Amino acid sequence: MPHARSAPAKPQPASAKGLFPVKKRASAQANVDVNAAVDGWPVLAVGARRRYNPSNKLDAMKKIGIHEIARVAGVSIGTVDRALHRRKGISKETRKRILQIVRNLGYKPNLAARMLSVGRAPLRIGVCIPREIHFFYDQVRDGILSEARRFESLGVSVIYRPVPRLGAGEVERVREMLDSDIRALIISPGDPHRLAPLIDEAERKDIRVLCVSSDAPGSARSTVICVDPELNGKCAAELMAKFLPSNSRVAIVTGMLQTEDHRQKTKGFSEVFPQFCKGGEVIDVIENHEDVDEAFQKCFSLLKRVRAIDGLYVSTVNCLPVCHALGAAGLSGKVRLITTDLFREMVPYFEKGTISASIYQRPYVQGQTAVRLVVDHIVAARPIPATYYLNPQIVLLSNLRLFREVRPWEASEGLAAPPRVPGLLPGHVHTEVKAPVGSSSKNFRLDKGHKQA
C-alpha cells in the first residue's frame, strides 16, 4: 500500500540501539503505524490504521476522552455519553461493551470540565454531625474536609453546623440547613423518627441526604455510610467469646437504643454471643446517652451490684468512663473489655490490659466516602448506592500503632501536624462554621461565644 507524501525527515541522533529515521504525519488526519523504537519509545511512520494501545508509551501519555472511546468502540460520542451516564437509548449489550472498553483504557472523567460544561453552580455540602463525642466525630469531620479539598476546583464548599451531641437539637439544625443553598446534606441521625420527615423533604427538594455512622432507615435518605452495625455487634460477640470460658456473663454499654446504630449493635451482640460462648448470657444493657458521668455511674453501679461479671462490650466510642469504673471497682484487667473505635487516650488502657480489643469503624474514611459519593453523583451522574458498608477492623495491643488516630501526623500523613481550627475547642458552640474548601483555618467564619451545654 503506497504511503502518503511527507516532508523529508530530519536526521535523528544516534542512540544505544542505533539510528532510526522518523517520518512526520502527512496531515492531522493521517493514521500512524509503529515501525521501530528508540530507547523504548515508539517511532511513528505514516501508514496503515492502528488501534489505540494502552500499553504503548506514547498512547499512555495522551489523556483518554470520550472521542477515543467512541473511536475504539466504533460508535458515536452520544452513545458513549449515554453508556457512561446510564441514560436511555442504548442497548444493554452496547452499554456493557462500551463500559468494558472504558475500563480497559483506564478512562477517568474530567469532573472540572463537566462541571463547567453543564453550567453547574458551586456545590455546597451541608454537614450536621455531633461535636461530642469528639474522639469519633472529629475524625468524621476531618475526613469530610480532607476529601472536599480535593474537589475545590469544582467549587465544592462545606457548610458545617454541628450539634452538641447525638440527637440534641438535630431537628432544628437540619431545618435551618434546608433553608440554605445546599446540594447535599451529611448527617448522623440520633433520633431517626423525628428526622425522617425533614429527610424526606430534603430529598423532594433534590437535596441528597447521606447518613454517616448511624442510619434513618424509615426515611427517603439517599444512603448510609458506616460499618454494618449488626455485623459490628456480632464481631464483638465472637471476639468476646474467644476471650472467655463457657457460661460467662457479660453486659453491653451503649448510647441510646432509639439510635439505629446503637440498637443494631446491641441486637447483633445479644443474638450471637450465646452461640459462640456455650452457656453464655447477656445479663444487662446499659444506656448512657453518650454522657460521660452517666456512663461511669451506671457502670460502677453494675460492677458493685453484679460481682460475677466476666465481660463488657461498649458499642460506642464512649469507653473512658467504663475504663474508670473498672479501675474504681478494682476490676481493671479482670473483666474483659471490648470497645469501639480508637483514640490516643485509649492507648494506656490497652497497655495496662484494661481494654482487650476494639472494633474500629474507620470514621475518617466514612467522612471521605460521603463527600466522594456526593461529588460523583452530582457532577458525574453516578447513582448513590442505598447502603455503603465499610469493613470493620479489629484493634489489638499488637497493631494499635498502625491506626491513624494514634500515629504522629508525620507518620500517618507525611505532613506536619494540622493547625488547630480556631473556635473548634471544648467549651464553645458554633452555630455555623462555614469553611470554603482550600481556605486556611484562620479564614474560617465562626459564630462563637456560647458555652457548651
- On whether both 137 and 183 belong to a single domain, the answer is yes
Question: Which CATH number characterizes residue 143's domain?
Answer: 3.40.50.2300
Q: Would you say residue 223 lies in a domain?
A: no
Helix, strand, coil percent content, the chain, rounded in steps of 5? 40, 20, 45
Q: Kindly provide the b/e burial profile for residues 54-66, where b requires at least 16 CB atoms within 10 angstroms of the residue's own CB.
A: eeeeebeeeebeb
- Both 206 and 241 in one domain: the answer is no
pLDDT in tens, 216-259: 999 999 999 999 999 999 999 999 999 999 999 999 999 999 99
Q: What is the pLDDT of residue 86?
A: 67
So what's the pLDDT on residue 109? 65
Nearby residues of 232 by Cβ (< 8 Å), 6 or more positions away: 264, 265, 268, 315, 340, 359, 361, 392
Q: What is the C-alpha to C-alpha distance for residues 189 and 363, in angstroms, rounded to an integer?
A: 15
DSSP label at residue 394: E
Question: What one-letter code names the amino acid at 183?
Answer: R
Closest by alpha carbon to 142, among 129, 155, 124? 129
Q: Is residue 94 part of a domain?
A: yes
Q: How many residues does the chain have?
A: 453
How far from chain centre, in Å, is Cα 245? Answer: 37
Distances (CA, A) of 86 to 176, 206, 334, 438: 34, 19, 57, 32
Q: Map residue 318 onto helix, strand or coil.
A: coil
* Residue 356 and residue 233 in one domain: yes
Q: Please choose, from the candidates 427, 429, 423, the residue with its C-alpha nearest in 3D space to the C-alpha of residue 445.
A: 423
290 and 274, same domain (yes or no): yes
Task: List the chain pLDDT tens, one digit each, 453 residues.
Answer: 444 444 444 444 444 444 444 444 443 333 333 333 333 434 333 333 445 454 554 444 456 777 888 888 889 888 887 887 667 788 988 988 988 888 888 776 665 555 555 445 679 999 999 999 899 999 999 999 999 999 988 889 999 999 999 989 999 999 999 988 899 999 999 999 999 999 999 999 999 999 999 999 999 999 999 999 999 999 999 999 999 999 999 999 999 999 999 999 999 999 999 999 999 999 999 999 999 999 999 999 999 999 899 999 999 999 999 999 999 999 999 999 999 999 999 999 999 999 999 999 999 999 999 999 999 998 888 899 999 999 999 999 999 999 999 886 533 343 333 443 333 323 223 333 334 334 333 333 333 333 333
Number of domains in the chain: 3
| Whole-angstrom distance, CA of residue 419 vs CA of residue 402 | 23
User: Distances from the Cα of 423 to the Cαs of 33, 127, 312, 351, 426, in angstroms?
Assistant: 63, 17, 36, 33, 9
Say yes or no: 81 and 140 in one domain: no
CATH code where residue 48 lies: 1.10.260.40
Q: Which residue has the cell 433534590?
A: 206
* Distance between CA atoms of residues 282 and 312, nearest Å: 9
Beta bridge partners of 126: 159, 185
Tell me whether residue 119 is in a domain.
no
C-alpha cell at 126: 451541608
Answer whether residue 409 is part of any domain. Answer: no
Distance (Å, whole) CA 50 – CA 59 = 12
| Residues 316, 287 within the same domain | yes
Three-state DSSP at 46 gives strand
The residue out of 62, 83, 109 marking a domain boundary is: 109
Residue 9, domain member (yes or no):
no
User: Domain end: 77, 109, 141, which one?
Assistant: 109
| Claim to verify: residue 201 and residue 241 sit in the same structural domain | no
Cis status, amide bond into 129, omega within 30 of 0: no
130, 184, 441 from 156: Cα distances, Å: 22, 11, 17
Q: Give me the pLDDT at residue 225, please.
A: 98
Residue whose cell numbers read 478494682:
330
Closest CA to 7 of 54, 65, 46: 46
- CB proximity list for 61: less than 8 A, separation 6 or greater: none
Host H or E run for residue 66: helix 66-73
Locate 319 and state its grid cell: 469507653
Contact between residue 339 and residue 355 where contact means Cβ atoms under 8 Å apart: yes
Of residues 187, 241, 197, the one with CA closest to residue 374: 187
Same domain, 208 and 253: no
Q: Is 427 left (phi over 0), alpha (psi -120 to 50) or beta?
A: left
Query: 0.75 exceeded by the pTM?
Result: no
Give the pLDDT of residue 137: 95
Q: Are residues 250 and 337 in the same domain?
A: yes
From the number of C-beta atoms within 10 Å of its C-beta (0-12, 13-18, 19+), residue 74 rates as: exposed
Query: Given this model, what pLDDT does residue 63 score?
Result: 60
Are 158 and 174 members of one domain?
Answer: yes
Assigned domain for 147 exists: yes
Instruction: Give the structural domain span for 129.
Output: 124-213+363-386+419-446
Within-domain flag for 219? no
Q: Are residues 171 and 73 in the same domain?
A: no
Q: Is residue 393 part of a domain?
A: no
- Cell numbers for 279: 452457656
Q: Among 217, 231, 380, 243, which Cα is nearest to 310's?
A: 243
Reference 69, options 82, 55, 86; nearest CA is: 82
